[in-house]
Chain A
Amino acid sequence: MLEGAIAGLTAGGAYAVLGLCLTLMYRLGRVVNLAQAAIGVVGVYTMSVLADGGVPYFVAVLAGLVAAALVAAGLGYMMGRWFAEAGTDQRSAIAIAYLVGLLAIEYLVFGTDPRQIPGVLGGPLATVGGVTITQAAAVCVAAAVLITAGVSVFLARTAVGLRLRALSQRPTTAELMGIPSRRLGVGLWAVTGVLATAVLLVVAPQQNSDQLSLGLMVIPACAAALVGGFRSLVGTAVGGLALGALQGALAHVSQLQEFRDVVPFVAILAILLWSQRGEVWDAAR
């Protein structure tokens, strides 16, 4: 079971990183970006197509990251251009449209068949107490930790981070102070698109890598972001890693194995019920 939990940290790290992207987009961009993982799929599949065509792996990876950044920036530009004054609910609904549209375009461009995604992190890193730690799990956990720390420092210590925080609190006031919301918004979309691609490039070779499965990794990422209340970066990272570890552990329990994919949904439901407990209790009374 412990080995399963450790193995689950690969997916857990991906949930954490995607969840961090969701939390950043919610806090700074006023949107629950359900297209986050689908944007990453653009990068992963671009890399895969290029690598299959003979392009060296790391060049293909770079091209995939650039492709995802461009797609994300384009979507962010449209959001800032046409929906700048829209509320979080409306912007999130538009993100769902982005998700559906992206998946449709990805099917048209890359075909409907699952691809074998090439990777370089397939092997074990170390064995501790009989438990094997894979390279992918180590990289995903390290990525979650480093991104959490890096983003926290970036937001607290840099001029751009400060401006992003101001924009998230009072967008109109920030613009009246000369803060370029559209440019910063596009940058935020592009950076989160790159992060999503980077983490999916690590996990895609380890699992079922059809576009829909990868694109819907946004659901456990949402559960992770909910653990952090869509505010706390540390809470999101811990939530993502814990979800992945729990799923991995359940995969090693024969009676519960088939329920492992339900874990994110149960987590989302439980967190929403818990967060609404006061209102539910008041209504019941």
Chain B
Amino acid sequence: MTSSLVLDDVTVARGGAPIVRGVSLTAPAGEVTALLGPNGAGKTTLLESVSGVIPITGGTVSLNGGRLNALDRVARARAGIAHVEQGRTVFPDLTVAENILVVRRGPGVIDKALELFPELHKRLDVAASLLSGGEQQMLVLARALAARPSALLIDEMSLGLAPVIVQRLLPVVRDLAASGVAVLLVEQFATLALKIADTAHVLSGGTLTYSGPAAGLRSAPERLHAAYLGEPLPGVAGGS
């Protein structure tokens, strides 16, 4: 069976107010699934509900066929969900090596985690707080990899990074997916995400207004604009 992350009719509320309503989507293993949408659309809330930071109020989240709803965030991480939060969340006082070893210890763990980020190899003993923004984002991705996840949730990877760094990271995300991980990429800058995504979903006002091939939005920006404005597009598959 191919591993995948499946959200079925997921609803999430904050303070009693629904933020995400009836979202269904699948992030298959080996693919990059982009979740796009304007500010405040509910993208981060949806990711947080998948990793267990906040509870879902309706629907189901499952990974490789197993329901995650009843699991807390620690158990979900152990089940194979890795969540790379917004804001380059390194452990600032730990060194680069410690940031990786905190997830998993053992011979070769650091080398394996840094395979895609060789520039961090010479900074293993440096405190993470002293790294540049791009290096911190690389470290956060490497740390997530060390957990050997089935599904990787990445929230606003490009936020606050120089374009050259973003260009460096995008192929890495593509490579991660190619290694068999289901990548769900939340990105405010749609064109960046669409460059590497196989499938795209647009969330606007808490509901999906587009679900389909990323190529469908790459080649027709007007469709993307319409989806951002909350206009349901013909052919929206509702995540199927």
Interface residues of A (CB under 8 A from B): 159, 162-163, 165-166, 169-170, 172-181
Contact = CB atoms under 8 A, between A and B. Distances in A.
A173 B89 contact: yes
Contact of A173 (B78, B85, B101): B85
5 contacts: A159-B105, A166-B94, A172-B73, A177-B77, A177-B103
Contact of A177 (B72, B92, B147): B147
B91 A165 contact: yes
B108 to A, nearest CB: 16
Contact of A169 (B51, B91, B103): B91
B94 A169 contact: yes
B74 interface: yes
A137 B238 CA distance: 73
Contacts of A176: 51, 53, 73, 77, 82-83, 85
Contacts, number: 55
Contacts of B72: 175
Interface of B: 51, 53, 72-74, 77-78, 82-83, 85, 89, 91-94, 98-99, 101-103, 105, 143, 147
Contact of B91 (A159, A170, A175, A178): A170
A166 to B, nearest CB: 5
Given A162-B94, A169-B93, A170-B89, A177 B105 contact: no
Contacts of A180: 74
A178 B74 CA distance: 4
Contact of B98 (A162, A174, A178): A162
Interface-central residue, A170, A176, A179, by most chain B CB under 10 Å: A176
Contacts of B93: 165, 169
Nearest to B81: A176
B233 to A, nearest CB: 33
Contacts of A159: 101, 105
A162 B89 CA distance: 16
A177 B53 contact: no
A162 B102 contact: yes
A209 to B, nearest CB: 40
Contacts of A169: 91-94
B67 to A, nearest CB: 18
Nearest to B128: A169
Contacts of A173: 85, 89, 91
Contacts of B51: 176
B98 A172 contact: no
Interface-central residue, A166, A177, A179, by most chain B CB under 10 Å: A177
A174 B74 CA distance: 9
Nearest to B140: A173
B94 A177 contact: no
Given A176-B85, A177-B147, A165 B73 contact: no
Contacts of A177: 77, 82, 102-103, 143, 147
Q: Which 9 A-B pairs have the closest CB atoms?
A: A178-B77, A173-B89, A166-B102, A176-B83, A166-B91, A169-B91, A178-B78, A175-B73, A177-B103
B102 to A, nearest CB: 5
Interface-central residue, A165, A175, A181, by most chain B CB under 10 Å: A175
A84 B12 CA distance: 21
B205 to A, nearest CB: 26
